[in-house]
Structure 1
Amino acid sequence: MVIEFFLFLALYAVAKRLLHKIRNLPPSPFPTLPILGHLHLLKKPLHRSLSRISRRHGPVALLQFGSRRVLVVSSPDAAEECLAKNDVVFANRPRLLAGKHLGYNHTSLAWSSYGDHWRNLRRIASLEILSTNRLLTLSSIRAGEAKSLLCRLAKSGGQSVDMKSAFFELMLNVMMQMIAGKRYYGENVGEVEEARKFREIVTETFKIGGATNIGEFLPFLRRMGLNGVEEQLMAVQKKRDEFMQTLIDESRSGEGDASPEAAEGGKRKTLIQVLLSLRETDPEYYKDETIKSLMLVLLAAGTDTSAATMEWAMSAMLNHPEILKKAQAEIDEVVGHDRLFSESDLPKLPYLHCIINETMRMYPVGPLLVPHESAEECHVGGYRIPPGTMLLVNLFSIQNDPKYWPDAAKFKPERFEGMEGVRDGYKMMPFGSGRRGCPGENLALRMVGLALGSLIQCFEWDRIGDEPIDMTEGTGLTMPKAQPLLARCRPRSFTSDLLSQA
């Protein structure tokens, strides 16, 4: 019986291999196991595991994650074929449980299929929420939260500071101030119980949202109730939805006008107020659910990612003190010691931009980008790609490949000198590319630059000990550091005067 079983497996694997070649599908690891496919080959972190497979099978590889067919591309040319030549074909998102439950049944900006509904959401995000004019209007929020962080660090007394938490709380306060005019971390928190609920929801969302859900690829586990992730997603989404609905109801009744500008009828409105005001022109489209979904996407996509980039950048600079000193000298020359760093200084600080670019190259917080899915058959690298294939662009592999980046393993900001923006063809695209590229790029770059520039201007930084900062990646969707960054800072001689200014 055992012999027959192994004979069956061998015949199955050989037949699968022959069929694969006949159909002109991309290279695939051998063998493909029944039910599991290639899941047995995957280790954490996933982007490194997929990089190893690509080095063996080529930059266009087709894997089987249980019941799902997955195309993994790991070269600029293959990425360009997918995100430029076949941009429309790959403009859909796979139907995952996160999209079903956290994405309002696949109708949110992040999870909606390509079509009229998605185009409307993208237009609203680009023109009403994340436009340059809107970001300028809300710049005082970002400046105020950056200053609050500086004041908190100035009181640390040279003690060890958890920078991971500091950056994350900074971003959550910035986003919620922009969304609803409220802050939930640190001092000057309005409603203590409301803040507690919000922090609980945030913790649960990132915990369950970043977890690996094997039921996505082995549906029988979900049907048998052996996975448990779906129930957790439903529970946390219920809390998210109710919380955001409360903020919308407050804004509708005028109770949520937390900012003086809004109360005085000035220009600055919260983003919820902006979207509610648009309801007058299109009441059917700007429903509460649409507003909630947009705000929750903004909150999820705009916090952990930017905070992680800041943490990686500070870690890299602490391991390279000469780079930190060079950045500080640039800021001293351009900004001086008589005023605090501001967003308007960013265009005049090319070396700081180089540091941010190099951080995003080596430590992309979306190492596999957000998954795409093919709507119809197409060809990539000369191979046939069937419809319904999930696409993973291994950005980590591309941006750390010595074929495209000399001294790829070295943190070397100077490589970006003279380069405009953050893209370098398809060798460097930390915010994705094509129709589904991240619309929040401008906000992210402003916030990361403002935070890092302010910290470099106002403090002298040191590692906790003599050992270099551990730069190992942890597991999660946004490639966190395995060990959170702990650092010491000392206010510079002029910092107290700057922080005391109104």
Structure 2
Amino acid sequence: MELTLVISLLCLLFAIAFKLWRQPKQPKNNLPPGPAGLPIMGHIHLIQNPIHERLQKLSQTYGPVMSLRFGSRFVVVVSSPSAAEECFSKNDIILANRPPFLNGKYLNYNFTTVAAANYGDHWRNLRRLGCIEIFSATRLKSFLDIRKDEVTRLVGRLHQASKHGFEKVELRTMLLDETFNVIMRMMAGKRYYGEGVDDVKEAEEFKQHMQEYSKYTKATNLSDLFPILQLIDLGGLRKGMTSLSKKMDMFLQGLVEEHRGDKTCRNTMISHLLALQESQP
């Protein structure tokens, strides 16, 4: 079965290559300068760690605005303050959309969340809700006690670690714990990290979801650069993202239902959005 699939894929690749070879040459787009790329692969072979240093060396050769190609994806690299300002202030709407990557489809409700949606009416409506109902100055001020409490807990952990003298601590883990706790207490009123978590089992489930989510979103997948690989689900990415999406959806739905069943007035984002849903369905 696998051999047949590989042979079929190779035949398809040869057919595409033959078709592209027989097509008449089209005039190139007016792209910024860039290094010569390999067939199919593009410039993937030029990108090595540390990536920022590699891009900086390429920009010294080809200028502050250069074009690269990673598989089927064209990329414009901007490395000067003036060009970056022009991209993100004068032409921000033109450059607002994001590539249709797999994680946007399976982990962001088919590109409908504010992090993955294309610029348009839907995105503007989500942004309006975020600015007015979630991140407004009044709303954030109402969560001030939560932030103060988490900072106090962090200072307490540092004091506990160094009460017998100077002690080396890993601040990154502590700051991540504090950040996640602030976000989740503002959103759902629960602590999931560090000491004094509200529900150990639920906290472990949340941490596992976050670890999986990070694994699928922190790096670009080959299937995003070569869409034809999505036909064979390379590395089981589609299956894994679909499974994680269902688990996260059930987890978040559980938080929503818990707030729906709670008759007390809780100062959480979920409670505020549920109240808003009743007044503006």
- What TM-score range do you get, normalising by the shorter chain? 0.7 to 0.9
Change (3 A) 1:102 1:225: closer
Tell me the TM-score normalized by structure 1.
0.49
Question: Which of 96, 99, 106 lines up with 1:94 in the alignment?
Answer: 99
Deviations 1:396-416 (A, max 9, x none): xxxxxxxxxxxxxxxxxxxxx
Please report how far the alpha carbon of residue 19 of structure 1 lies from its aligned counterpart in structure 2 after TM superposition. Answer: 4.6
Q: 2:137 aligns with which of 119, 128, 132?
A: 132
CA distance in 2, matches of 1:94, 1:207: 19
Aligned structure 1 segments of 4 or more residues deviating by more than 6 angstroms: none
Q: Deviations over 1:328-349 (max 9, x none)?
A: xxxxxxxxxxxxxxxxxxxxxx
Partner AA of 1:103 in structure 2:
N
Higher deviation after alignment, 159-168 or 231-240: 231-240
**Alignment partner, residue 72 of structure 2:** 67
User: By how many angstroms is 1:221 displaced?
Assistant: 2.5
> What residue in structure 2 maps to residue 27 of structure 1?
33
Question: What secondary structure is seen at the aligned counterpart in 1 of 2:275?
Answer: helix
In the TM superposition, residue 143 of structure 1 has moved relative to its aligned partner by 0.4
How far, CA to CA, are the matches of 2:77 and 2:243 in structure 1?
32
Alignment of 1:41-60 (within 5 A): 41-60=46-65
DSSP 3-state at the match of 2:234: coil
SS at match of 2:272: helix
Within 5 A, what are the aligned runs for 1:383-402? none
Contact 2:69 2:75 in 1 (8 A): yes
Identify the structure with bigger relative contact order (alpha carbons < 8 Å, sequence gap 6+).
1
How far apart are residue 245 of structure 1 and its match? 0.7
Change (3 A) 1:45 1:102: farther
Aligned amino acid, residue 223 of structure 2? G
Unaligned runs of 5+ in 1: 1-11, 256-262, 284-502
Query: Which runs of structure 2 are paired with 1:267-278 in the superposition (5 Å)?
Result: 269-278=267-276
> Tell me, what secondary structure is at the counterpart of 2:235?
coil
Deviation per residue, 1:216-273 (Å, 9 max, x gap) = 1112332233333332222222222111110000001117xxxxxxx4x4xx610000
Q: 1:56 & 1:230 partners in 2: Cα distance? A: 39
Residue 209 (structure 2) aligns with: 201
Q: Deviations over 1:404-443 (max 9, x none)?
A: xxxxxxxxxxxxxxxxxxxxxxxxxxxxxxxxxxxxxxxx
Q: If the length of structure 2 is used for normalisation, what is the TM-score?
A: 0.85
Contact 2:233 2:239 in 1 (8 A): no
SS of residue matched to 2:94: coil
Aligned partners of 2:233, 2:197: CA distance in 1, in Å?
A: 40
Other-structure match for 1:5: none
SS at the partner of 1:69?
Answer: strand
In proportion to residue count, which structure has more helix?
A: 2
For structure 2, the residue ranges without an aligned partner over 5 or more in a row are 1-20
Q: Distance in 2 between matches of 1:33 and 1:19?
A: 19
Query: How far apart in 2 are the matches of 1:113 and 1:126?
Result: 18
Q: 1:220 and 2:247 equivalent? A: no
Shift of 1:141: 0.2
